[in-house]
Structure 1
């Protein structure tokens, strides 16, 4: 079983559907240990753990994650999902460490606890009209290459229709041969954005034409959440 969650300010929210993520942003280790016991009692064996890059760059962030990952690994198999500053879109303060450095930190220090990393794009990157031909100038692309070199499997998550031109650019460069799978994030909005199956079929056709073997998975999980605990600070 896998655990599913989205970050909420007032606690952990879980739902019994696979392929989503739990965010441990609490600072109270005792409460986290209690939550671990609760998850074990429900029979969870595998967790997708969200790594908030902005959180990591705070004063206590790296120490928090350096405690959290080994602690969780004692009870669960882990997959790490790196949120590339998506919750801090628009901030003018430059991060102390960028995505490649953060992923490198986790692989070198905690790599024995996981074999797969999932990378998300920064929403601000989607708004840029980037004419740079070197695809490795993109944080996600460079990080993928580096993580593969360090022995990890890589997934691309939260891919949206707005990423279509970016994905086709990666297909043309044969870069997507470096990834295991791509997850399409279903959005609300216009017909193109909500027609996930059409978007998925289009990408599958392009993948087939270019010999890309990466799997494509649409994220169509229910948004109904079951609250298990509150007030962890």
Structure 2
């Protein structure tokens, strides 16, 4: 929804964070946040060579290194992706997010990530057909949405699909929404899961907005619950 004040609100949030010394990263597709540097010590790194950028000519290789350095230094960053092709944007952002995740985990310094115009990067509906762009988009979706909360393929889930209640492995369910070797995020409108209202403890069926599929990680964690149940999840679940 253009013109509703999202970017302005994000700018206000960034100013509040900066005034309190909380590091943040803004993914800026439109070059709208460069004026933040007039008030606060914010680094601007750009795809292309705009005059206002401190670091220019980002590549997928340098973007990952950039993420590592800013987290280690604890500084705020505007990642300006206004200039460049769609493929350049996706590849640089995917590399940056991967570097950010691993470095933030190692350093244990939390960052606030603001992704303005996120619907342009990871739209709710539709699939990009250009292979290179689609592959880069899948990586972005992985690092933004999926890395921290995944179940093993064979973990059973209770769902209602088109009015029919069933229990089946989550991997088998999710496979129905993807091509054989595809992965990422898919919008769904025919799926519900039981959800508990924390205020009254009542269970109701709630619609599922998306399903995710990701490559299997090198290691999974098996949790033993007090109820006696076991569940296998990713290590960052």
Q: TM-score range by the shorter chain?
A: 0.3 to 0.5
TM-score normalised per structure 1 = 0.33
TM-score normalised per structure 2 = 0.32
Q: Which has the higher contact order (CA 8 A, sep 6+)?
A: 1
Structure with the greater alpha carbon radius of gyration: 2
